[in-house]
């Protein structure tokens, strides 16, 4: 932001010098350059995704995990994104290298999970990188959960009239995903 401000100050000073000399062509060129720079550096609108409530009351969606489409259910009670063993295998995660040493409580009861980091998790236009996640042992869950390790990275989310709205941060850097604040690690997932 300070770099943009510095550029604007320099352009204003240049425009002021041009105005002082009174050359209309140079004034017009300076004005065009300032307009172009402002258009290039204006922030992109914040990405948002709207998800309708399902018949069973859940908010289900298809996410892309490391580029592979995967069904998920939003679970604000889950500390982390939680993947089934079957989904993790389909995505190509290194299951043989995982240590199942994290205690988790699921709808089906107590089980163990393994920690890992997803390179990229996308829900519509919302894209997050290096997302902490858990993988449960084979057959322990039927549904992938989009938990707080993803939702906490969003600017906001909320439910209104059977619609869940997920709002990302506006992109002010020109990159795919703006940097986020660091997260605390929580011990268990639902």
Question: 133 with 81: CB under 8 angstroms?
Answer: yes
- Looking at residue 18, its pLDDT comes to 56
What are the boundaries of each domain within the chain? 2-41, 48-167
Q: Which residues pair with 122 in a beta bridge?
A: 64, 127
> Which residues of the chain carry a pLDDT beneath 70?
1-23, 27, 34-35, 37-44, 171-190
- Looking at residue 16, its pLDDT comes to 63
Q: Which fold has domain 48-167?
A: Cathepsin D, subunit A; domain 1 (2.40.70)
Long-range contacts of 170-174 (CB under 8 A, 24+ apart): 170/43, 170/44, 170/45, 170/46, 171/43, 171/44, 171/46, 171/47, 172/1, 172/43, 172/44, 174/44
d(CA 22, CA 51): 57
- Looking at residue 78, its pLDDT comes to 93
Helices (runs of H) and strands (runs of E) counted in the chain: 4, 10
């Amino acid at each position: 932001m300070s770099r943009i401000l510095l550029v604007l100050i320099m352009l204003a000073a240049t425009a002021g010098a041009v105005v002082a000399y009174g050359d209309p062509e140079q004034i017009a060129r300076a004005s065009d350059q300032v307009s172009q720079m402002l258009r290039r550096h204006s922030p992109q609108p914040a990405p948002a995704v709207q998800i309708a409530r399902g018949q069973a009351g859940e908010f289900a969606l298809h996410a892309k995990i490391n580029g592979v489409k995967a069904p998920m259910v939003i679970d604000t009670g889950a500390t982390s994104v939680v993947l089934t063993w079957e989904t993790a295998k389909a995505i190509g995660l290194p299951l043989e290298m995982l240590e199942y040493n994290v205690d988790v409580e699921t709808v089906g009861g107590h089980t163990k999970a393994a920690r890992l980091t997803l390179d990229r998790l996308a829900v519509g236009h919302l894209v997050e990188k290096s997302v902490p996640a858990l993988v449960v042992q084979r057959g322990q869950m039927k549904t992938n959960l989009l938990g707080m390790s993803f939702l906490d990275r969003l600017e906001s989310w909320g439910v209104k009239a059977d619609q869940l709205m997920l709002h990302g941060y506006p992109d002010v850097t020109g990159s795919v995903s703006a940097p986020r604040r660091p997260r605390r690690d929580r011990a268990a997932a639902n």
